[in-house]
Structure 1
Amino acid sequence: MTAALEVLPVPGLPEIEAGADLGALIAKAVDLLPGDVLVVTSKIVSKAEGRLLRTEDKDAVVAAETVRVVARRGKTRIVQNRQGLVMAAAGVDASNTAPGTLLLLPLDPDASARAIRARVRELTGRQVGVLITDTFGRPWRNGLTDVAIGAAGVAVLEDHRGRVDSHGNELALTVTATADELAAAADLVKGKASGIPVAVVRGLPGAVTEEDGDGIRRLIRPVEDDMFRLGTSEALRAAVTLRRTVREFSDQPVHGPAVRRAVAAAVTAPAPHHTTPWRFVLLETAEARTRLLDAMLGAWRRDLRDLDGWDEARIARRTARGDVLRRAPYLVVPCLVTEGAHAYPDARRAAAEREMFTVSVGAAVQNLMVALTGEGYGTAWVSSTMFCREVVREALELPADWDPMGAVAVGRPVEPPADRPERDPEPFVLTR
């Protein structure tokens, strides 16, 4: 690649209408050289492809173009649209179009770029690259910039990994979004209100490829690598929805600091009388988990043998339900501590007081499990420790006033949870 670049506006294009031959209009408006990159604003592509709607109901149109809401604040919606792009308002635009109309993005911007490239080559014999662009906001940064939403014949990414810098350091992470850099450079001469929708970037022949390529697919971060896939409230709702009982865990170890972050969320739960009635015992070693579970199993077997009709086979079936705890690489035992509880002389109010504290522990455990889901872990809250509290306290050497409230198995799920239909809240609501 050369060190010098030219970014040239392409003036003189007419107002674009449905059915316009963009490739021919651009080829007529500018003398192209082999290796040039044509940067075309998506709005004129949308107009040429008839992606204009006569309506003022932008909210309805945005909803129709949305696949997934990423974040919402007031009237602003960041969404993933039909093209797989994450952007404001699904790319639906009321600017640079007549009042009472809205422009949608091209149905397939990569296909649009390929069509323009093929038409230019047919008419001029020049091998050029083509980018279709649109305006995006960016996380953590103010201001808008143009990025590529469609590409043909352009190496959209340049991978520097494995190369060495001027100091001899091997580059391990650097992958440059060449297509987006070209889009932003071209926008400096196109502008937002200049009426110039096309620019040529000249001087980067190495960026232009012989084949059309895969378009912008490689620019879109895969879901599994996207740490910021949802906004804050959306991520919380997603974690609540995804949180469900997991019974099969992989052998991957659980990251202790992640559990402590979840405990930090747990202890924000509401509690009576400004108390802190929760304690969390973290069983991080296999030895501690085995000691607890063996002690509990012995207690369960002794109790069940005292019941009529319980033979060894039936006892084995019943106690096998606790195997989910043995299969988990990490256990959390939440405990109730009632210090700060009010003392009542009558049983009714004393029982209600304890229930208040018990409810608070339930809220804390829910917070814990939702936070762990956000960290990518699965959980199963099993109640078995509540049936042999003295045994648990002895096995874990807990204070006498710590009441074990079940055990939470934690680990990476072997399989992602199956989709679950959204539950209608109305059957559970009574209005007065």
Structure 2
Amino acid sequence: MPLVEPGDDLAHLIGARLRDSHIGLQDGDIVVLAQKIVSKAEGRYIDLNDVRPSQQAMELAAKTGKDPRHVEVVLSQADEIVKTGPQVIVVAHRLGFVMANAGVDESNIDHAGSARVLLLPNSPDDAAAQLKLRFDAMFGISCGVIINDSFGRPWRNGVVGVALGAAGVPSLIDRVGAADLFGRSLKVTEIAAADELASAASLLMGQADEGRPVIVVRNYKSTAPSKPAAALLRSREKDMFR
């Protein structure tokens, strides 16, 4: 994949690389894309030199050790501050995700001689749906699309891939009422299938200079109905930790 620039036609770029690599797309394939290339194509850059930190941003910067300008951008994307720590501000993003630093990131982007950060896509589920339509038309198939990002988790070290956006994928599979090995009915089990697929793809994508922002998942089978990634978001009323 070439480096993605604002305004690039992601579906065209990816489709061309899939053909050139003789991978193509088959019916039922799932294309997992790194969030960054979606954000780059959407031009979701902010130049920190243009940011004027508020008093709240400066206070949080002093508390966390972060750049006050970066903190101001985080605040602009957040509905609620959940927790703070060294170099970390956990927020409820305006898109519904509870995440570190509102997904505002400086890694794996061209800073263009400045100090730039990259925001999340405007609407990950909508972006995934549009890409699915394009891939389906290009290859004459019906595929799934997942937009993947790396999240930390409470109680666990390290990051894992999760689905920010999805289309044509059973993001959340309800197994309530299904029988276990001993015939006992499951009472609360739901499978975050899109997150598990995103996490598996993340192992191949890598986190540093691997340069593999697109992974094709082939032969995953499920009869569960497709749902957008928004189905994975837990409402605040059911969140026991906020």
2:43 to 22, 38, 50: 50
Amino acid at match of 1:96: N
What CA deviation, in whole Å up to 9, does each residue of 1:266-313 have, x standing for no partner? Answer: xxxxxxxxxxxxxxxxxxxxxxxxxxxxxxxxxxxxxxxxxxxxxxxx
| Correspondence for 1:133 | 148
**What is the aligned partner in structure 2 of residue 246 from structure 1?**
none
After TM superposition, give the deviation of residue 206 of structure 1 in Å. Answer: 2.4
Choose the corresponding residue for 1:195, options 190, 193, 211. 211
Residue 75 of structure 1 deviates from its aligned partner by 3.5
Q: RMSD over aligned Cα, in angstroms?
A: 1.5
Is 1:110 equivalent to 2:110 in the alignment? no
| Structure 2 partner of 1:216 | 229
d(CA) in 2 for partners of 1:80, 1:224: 13
1:98 equivalent in alignment to 2:110: yes
User: Deviation string for 1:341-379 (max 9, x for gaps)?
Assistant: xxxxxxxxxxxxxxxxxxxxxxxxxxxxxxxxxxxxxxx
Deviation track 1:151-195 (CA, whole Å, cap 9, x = no partner) reads 111110111111111121211121110000000000111111201
Q: Structure 1: which amino acid aligns with 2:202?
A: D
- Structure 1 unpaired stretches of 5+: 1-12, 230-432
1:101 is displaced (CA, Å) by 1.2
Structure possessing the higher relative contact order (Cα contacts under 8 Å, 6 or more residues apart): 2
Q: Could you tell me whether the CA contact under 8 Å between 1:121 and 1:127 is conserved in 2?
A: yes
Q: Which amino acid aligns with 1:222?
A: S
The residue identity in structure 1 corresponding to 2:84 is R
- Residue identity in the other structure for 2:47: R
2:11 to 18, 23, 47: 23
* Amino acid in the other structure paired with 2:178: R
Q: How far did 1:76 drift?
A: 1.6
- Structure 2: segments with no counterpart, 5+ residues: 19-23, 50-68
Separation of aligned partners in 2, 1:228 and 1:58:
26
Task: Spell out structure 1 runs of 4+ moving beyond 6 A.
Answer: none
2: distance between equivalents of 1:126 and 1:160?
28
In structure 2, the partner of 1:146 is: 161
Instruction: Supply the distance in 2 between the matched residues of 1:29 and 1:207 (Cα, whole angstroms).
Output: 29
Give the whole-Å Cα distance in 1 for the aligned partners of 2:88 and 2:75.
12
The aligned counterpart of 2:85 is 73
Secondary structure at the counterpart of residue 206 of structure 1: coil
Check the 8 A contact 1:36/1:208 in 2, yes or no.
no
**2-side partners of 1:214 and 1:176: how far apart?**
12
Q: Is the 8 A contact 2:172 2:193 kept in 1?
A: yes
Deviation at 1:208, TM superposition (A): 8.1
Report % sequence identity: 44
When you count helix as a share of all residues, which structure comes out higher?
Answer: 1
How far apart, in 1, do the equivalents of 2:88 and 2:116 lie? 20
Letter in 2 for 1:40: L
Contact 1:37–1:202 (CA under 8 A) maintained in structure 2: yes
The 3 A distance-change label for structure 1 pair 73 and 204 is same
How many correspondences in the alignment? Answer: 214
Partner SS for 1:118: helix
Structure 1 distance, partners of 2:175, 2:189, is 5
2:223 & 2:156 partners in 1: Cα distance? 27
CA distance in 2, matches of 1:125, 1:172: 40
Q: Which one has the largest radius of gyration?
A: 1
3-state SS of 1:107 partner: coil
Whole-Å Cα distance in 1 between the matches of residues 176 and 78 of structure 2? 35
Q: Secondary structure at the match of 2:240?
A: coil
